[in-house]
Structure 1
Amino acid sequence: MSSAALPYHEPGIITILIQSSILILLNAVNYVLDRILYCGLVGQIFIGIAFGTPGAKWLGEEAEHVIVQLGYLGLILIVYEGGLSTSFPSLKANFTLSSAVALTGIAVPIGFSFILQRLASASPLQSFAAGAALCSTSLGTTFTILGTSGLTNTRLGTVLTSAAMMDDVIGLVMVQVISNLGGNSDFDAITVVRPVFVSIGFGVICLLACRFLVLPLTVRLNRLRDTNSRGWLQKPCVRNEAALVFHTLLLVAMVTAATYAGSSSLFAAYLAGATVSWWDSEVPHFTHQPRRVETSNAVIHENKEGEGVTLQNEMEDSSSGVVVYNNFFVKPVNGILKPLFFASIGFSIPITRMFDGDVVWRGIIYTILMCLGKLACGLWLLRFSVAMPGKIHPRRLKGLASFIAGQLRCIGRSRQASAPAAEQPFSMVKIGNGQASTRVAPAPTSLVPRTTPVSLYPASILGLAMVARGEIGFLISSLAESKGIFGEVNGEVFLVVTWAIVLCTVLGPVGVGLLVRRLKRLEKEKNINGSGRDVLGVWGVGTG
């Protein structure tokens, strides 16, 4: 008979030491490697290898299962955070280019993966599963690279972020494809197409619900709040806790619905985050703000009549998805759930068999092909640099036209006496054989079109940043191995794919770091000398 309750036993000191040490090491290794190579997740994976079944087996199988379950919760929140980071205006402006980059980053690695049929005697199904694992791009690594290099708000950063997100969305669909294929020996097209169309349908339903349900309800809610700004509806709408409940319910509901519908739960988590981001940035919100009385540590809010004064911390004066995530989710995710996820990936990597001679050289060759497959994404920047030298906002074109007209009027005027140097913030324009002081303002740098890049730096940075695989790649590879798609347990194909994921995750960020270091040195020399080439050209123009 089963017991009515679980007997409580105090954990042994050995168990406490092992579990506390793995949490500390996971965070310490991540901190160090993120600042050196931008790939702290690789260190966490190796910690999982050392503590888990492939290594010392200190955790025990039951503890490993618990870590896998908690780690998957962390993965769902990682993908949800990626959805929250979606910028719809930037995505719309660069959608065509980002789509071309993303499709190249998906199709070329999958196509190259069929060389495994000759390289490692893989079947077509195994080659497809390997390509599915290597077609993704690590969003975590991508955001880290952009943040440390200062390229987040440039056109290059926008294209890279959008393409990486699209690659990961396809990768999330591939998770469901691989799961459906299971151990089937036949490559059934229906099995592949079904989750793709289910995922597309789920996304379309989400778009329609946002347009025809969420948007009208939000507009009606704004009217109710406007007519009764001190009513019972106003107070919960301005609290972070209410936004937390709404966002969490949305995430849980969409993940549950997608799973039962046959789509990927991770794809649904991304859509949930993107929906919240869309609601924050694209939907009109109630704009009535109480009068603010600022103090040193807080902001005192008063209503129109001066009654009902409340005290609220200035940092809590927002309920957007990013703010709510940073306030309630980011610490447990970054400190516990995310490290446990990468450690759980390490449990399934047979490190003791990866250093077989045939596996090593095959893994290196496959890694080179997978690097070339993502480097091909940079070719689109070379093409668009010539064909599309930069999209200029009409307001900037108007300002540029006004500047040119002012230049022509000043040249046509008669020469005037020079103004005192201290009062003349204008440039000297050469007229004829002499020089005259003219009231010509220098051209605003934001209005002058940037030149096309004169080097391969933008294309190389984009391609190398796309090389880094990471969480989705390890997830698909481990899932395909556990489903028996790679044949025998810990077979050679799985080991070769694992080599490629690990090496790509390390080489991509290191290559970008070296290029960005040189790029910054060239820009510094250009600023000092006052001359030189514009290294990034239109790809270094800000999008904000």
Structure 2
Amino acid sequence: MEVHTFFLILLTMLLSARVLGELAARLGAPPVIGELLAGVLLGPSLLGWVEPTPVIRLLAEIGIILLLFEVGLETDILRLIRTGVKSVIVAAAGIILPFAFGALAAIHVFDLSLITALFIGGTLTATSIGITVRVLTDLGRSQGRESNIVLGAAVIDDVVGIVLLAFLYEFSSGGGINLVNTGKVLLFILLFLILAPLAARLMAEVIKRFERVSQIPGLIPTTVVSLVLFFAWLAHAVGAPELLGGFAAGLALSQRFFFPMGVAIHTDAKFAHHMEGQMRPIVHLFTPIFFVMVGLSLNFQVIDWSSSFIWTFSGVLFVLAVAGKLLGAFLIRENLPTRFAIGLAMVPRGEVGLIFAELGRSSGIFDGEIYAAMVVVIALTTLLPPFVMKWLYRRHAGSFPEAHG
């Protein structure tokens, strides 16, 4: 790709995301819907102007990493820990139930092979943490108790999703699973989640001291972005999703950080707000690229809309995908609107589901019709929940508890 062509593509993506996001907000829809639709409009589904090239994927990856950094920065880890048991229940049920529902339906209803059924189940387990977080932020609920439960569950979901993807890939290519290798990956991820925030915290103190004496403007954005990218690389190196590195860095730099051994450390509020103010424009520049990228990846041209199999298959899987996540939320003790909100927030599959589906297609496990049906399911689970969640929060305003400090 020529450099000047890339400039034009990037300009088109950013402007269309902004315009359609603004239009969505004015029409009463979550702005993220406008950004997703910008990708659908520009991509192979409609106009075909923009393709999801490696460069665009890289910028989108930076966008989701920075978004999770911002989420970590605004998260009170004590609140997150208090919702830990509920997050684990929601995550576990939200993984097991959709996987079982999807795999069993594929085998017993549609008479598909075991490996195909496993990949279908795996695709239904995924939750797009980026879309979930953005919707809750757009609705002004990023600090609500349900958001802490969802955030914890989505982080667990992401880690398990990576392990499950490795499982399925190994099973499809070699016919077996190496439990030793899987155990090592889980151990490395656990060590990373414990040690990375501690290391980031030490680096944050260094940044704070240098910022006081530095004669060069822009120290905080440069060093903080470098820190986030380093921890994203480190997360990938141990087998975890890169976005967990961004989340860990943000958590360590947040105003109240909690060490595993029980020591709570408070960041100077003035410095924390200064850092947030310096980083926010960068985060808001990159995150729309991620959501446009998700829209670009939803290629509706591959779908034969006259196929009765695609309509039936995608309809059944969509119902099972939503039911699996909602049932997981109903296993915890909260009021009815809160449980619905948690379940709906776990529904979007987004880019994570597309990764599973693409692996199934590229490895020959999904044929054209099954892949097309999975794209329909992923599109529906990505585009519909934000609308339903906005209606739910309007309909039951005042029913949602705030997180305890």
What TM-score comes out, normalization by structure 2 length? 0.79
Distance 1:278 1:173 in 2: 32
Which residue pairs with 2:15 in the alignment?
Answer: 24
Which residue pairs with 2:284 in the alignment?
Answer: 331
Aligned pair in 2 of structure 1 residues 177, 326: CA closer, same or farther (>3 Å)? Answer: farther
Distance 1:40 1:470 in 2: 16
Equivalent pair of 2:196/2:248 in contact (CA under 8 Å): no
Which is richer in helix?
2
| Aligned pair partner of 2:95 in 106, 109, 112 | 106
Give the greater-gyration-radius structure (CA): 1
Structure 1: gaps of 5 or more residues: 1-5, 226-231, 290-315, 386-452, 524-535
Distance 1:210 1:18 in 2: 36
| Aligned pair partner of 2:382 in 484, 505, 515 | 505
Counterpart check, 1:468 vs 2:348: yes
Which residue pairs with 1:251 in the alignment?
Answer: 228
Which residue pairs with 1:353 in the alignment?
Answer: 304
Counterpart check, 1:459 vs 2:339: yes
Deviates more, 1:39-48 or 1:118-127: 39-48
1:38 CA displacement: 4.8
Which residue pairs with 1:402 in the alignment?
Answer: none
1:88 CA displacement: 0.7
Secondary structure of 1:540's aligned partner: coil
| Aligned pair partner of 2:213 in 228, 231, 235 | 235
Secondary structure of 2:178's aligned partner: helix
Aligned pair in 2 of structure 1 residues 479, 272: CA closer, same or farther (>3 Å)? Answer: farther
1:165 partner letter: V
Counterpart check, 1:33 vs 2:14: no
| Aligned pair partner of 1:190 in 172, 178, 202 | 178
Equivalent pair of 2:330/2:339 in contact (CA under 8 Å): yes
Equivalent pair of 1:137/1:470 in contact (CA under 8 Å): yes
Which residue pairs with 1:265 in the alignment?
Answer: 242
1:320 CA displacement: 6.7
Alignment deviations for residues 444-481 of structure 1 (CA, whole Å, 9 cap, x no partner): xxxxxxxxx5xx33322322232233332233333443
Aligned pair in 2 of structure 1 residues 86, 233: CA closer, same or farther (>3 Å)? Answer: closer
Distance 1:265 1:150 in 2: 26
1:102 CA displacement: 1.5
Distance 2:203 2:61 in 1: 33
Counterpart check, 1:372 vs 2:323: yes
Aligned pair in 2 of structure 1 residues 542, 123: CA closer, same or farther (>3 Å)? Answer: same
Counterpart check, 1:88 vs 2:77: yes
Distance 1:133 1:322 in 2: 35
1:155 partner letter: R
Distance 2:141 2:45 in 1: 39
1:326 CA displacement: 0.8
1:147 CA displacement: 4.3
Aligned pair in 2 of structure 1 residues 253, 480: CA closer, same or farther (>3 Å)? Answer: farther
Secondary structure of 2:173's aligned partner: coil
Structure 2: gaps of 5 or more residues: none
| Aligned pair partner of 1:207 in 179, 190, 194 | 194
Distance 2:220 2:363 in 1: 42
Counterpart check, 1:161 vs 2:151: yes
1:189 partner letter: I
2:279 partner letter: Y
Which residue pairs with 1:116 in the alignment?
Answer: 106
More relative contact order, 1 or 2 (CA 8 Å, 6+ apart): 2
* Same amino acid, percent of matched pairs: 21
2:318 partner letter: T
1:360 CA displacement: 1.2
Aligned pair in 2 of structure 1 residues 467, 267: CA closer, same or farther (>3 Å)? Answer: same
1:469 partner letter: R
| Aligned pair partner of 2:65 in 67, 76, 101 | 76
1:137 CA displacement: 2.8
Which residue pairs with 1:487 in the alignment?
Answer: 366
1:252 CA displacement: 2.7
Root-mean-square deviation over aligned CA pairs: 4.1
Equivalent pair of 1:82/1:139 in contact (CA under 8 Å): no
Equivalent pair of 1:467/1:508 in contact (CA under 8 Å): yes
Secondary structure of 2:331's aligned partner: helix
